[in-house]
Amino acid sequence: MQDKIESLENEIDTLKKQLSWYKAFFDNATDAVFIVQPDSWSVLETNDYAATMLGTTKSNLLGTVLPQFRRIFKLLKKSNSPIVLSEISLNTFHNKSLMVEVSARFVDHNGQNLIHAIARDVSEQHALTDKMVQADKLVLLGQLSAGVAHEIRNPLAAVNLNLQVLKRKFDGDDPLANYVNTAMLGVERITRIVEVTLNFSRPSIPDVKELNVNTIVQASMELTRTSIKRKDIKVEVEFDENLSLVRADAKQLQQCFINLLTNAADAIKQKGVIKIKSYVEKSGKYNEGEYVVVEVSDDGIGMSPDEMKKIFNPFFTRKAEGTGLGLPITQRILHQHNGIIDVESKEGIGTSFYVKIPVPVN
């Protein structure tokens, strides 16, 4: 009799160890695990990761009704496969919506089919995909804009020719001549914008040559003029007219300055100032040479220290329609030119970017 008791005690001890073993694996799984009862859709069992993912404790999560599993139940009923894979949106205990990928199956427990589901948070993947789609849209928009700009040139040339013919019909004192002159100035401006747009959009291999950075900044200002004029923004320019030449690709540098000017305009809510300065700066490191510096400053919303750490991360953006690619691309282009981009910002005060391009040593 004593032997049987000892044997039973050993079996019970073994079962306890096995139960503790499996429970440890269940509780410490790296994905969220749910055991959900059909019809009531309440959580019968779960693990710590699931509770953390939904922003609560395990004890709070147990018994919570998750009606989203109704769709998983229907899929399992209809499917010929024992396992289904789907996505559902779960509400966290902080009233946030979380997109999760669910792998689910039925498990039989005392004659009742329960839903055993393993869930993984895919919200960031969805956000990344959305940003990549938006980036692709912008690429397509750029291609379309280049096509439109190309098509504008021929009718624009015809308009300009006809205006010149009209101009010859009036003498200098005729008031109608002023209207023609104004129209011709408008045509000239459109022509200049079209040419700058086409030059910027044409794909090409890097064309590194000596150039004056002031000229590139001015062309960039021309392309961003419309964005800036949407708000009450004053642009103050202070160029060093004796700026040293640098060796760079004009189109790539133009892309950098367009990104910075667009960001500056976006940072200003309604009214503000954008300051653009160029100057030469001696390197503070080992007196290794000089840099041409272009400073783009705004008095917009500024950035917090936490945001400052992320601005060069791909796809990080504070704009609803932004892609988060402008600054990473700008940084990469400047690194390819052995250049530097520095930034200073204070929340609520404004931001300054410093583009530094090395002056070639003769």
Length of the chain: 362
pTM surpassing 0.85? no
Structure tokens at 260: 């910075």
Q: What pLDDT was estimated at residue 281?
A: 87
d(CA 77, CA 75): 5
pLDDT at 286: 41
What is the rounded CA–CA span in Å between residue 14 and residue 7?
A: 11
Question: What does the alpha-carbon distance between residue 117 and residue 81 come to, in Å, rounded to a whole number?
Answer: 15
Residue 111's pLDDT is: 82
Q: Which helix (H) or strand (E) holds 138?
A: helix 123-169
Q: Residue 204 has what pLDDT?
A: 55
Question: What DSSP assignment string belongs to 183-223?
Answer: HHHHHHHHHHHHHHHHHHHS-----EEEE-HHHHHHHHHHH
Per-residue model confidence as pLDDT tens digits over 11-50: 777 677 666 666 766 677 778 999 999 989 999 999 989 9
Q: What is the pLDDT of residue 41?
A: 93
Q: Which residues of the chain have pLDDT under 70?
A: 1-3, 7, 9-10, 14, 17-22, 24-26, 129-131, 133-143, 146, 171-172, 196-205, 283-288, 315, 320-323, 362
Q: Residue 288 has what pLDDT? A: 61
334, 341 in Cβ contact below 8 A? yes
> What domains does the chain contain, in order, with CATH numbers?
31-121 (3.30.450.20), 123-203 (1.10.287), 207-362 (3.30.565.10)
pLDDT of amino acid 306: 84
What pLDDT was estimated at residue 309?
83
Q: What are the φ and ψ backbone dihedral angles of 86, each rounded to 5 degrees?
A: -155, 175
Element (H, E) at 75: helix 69-78
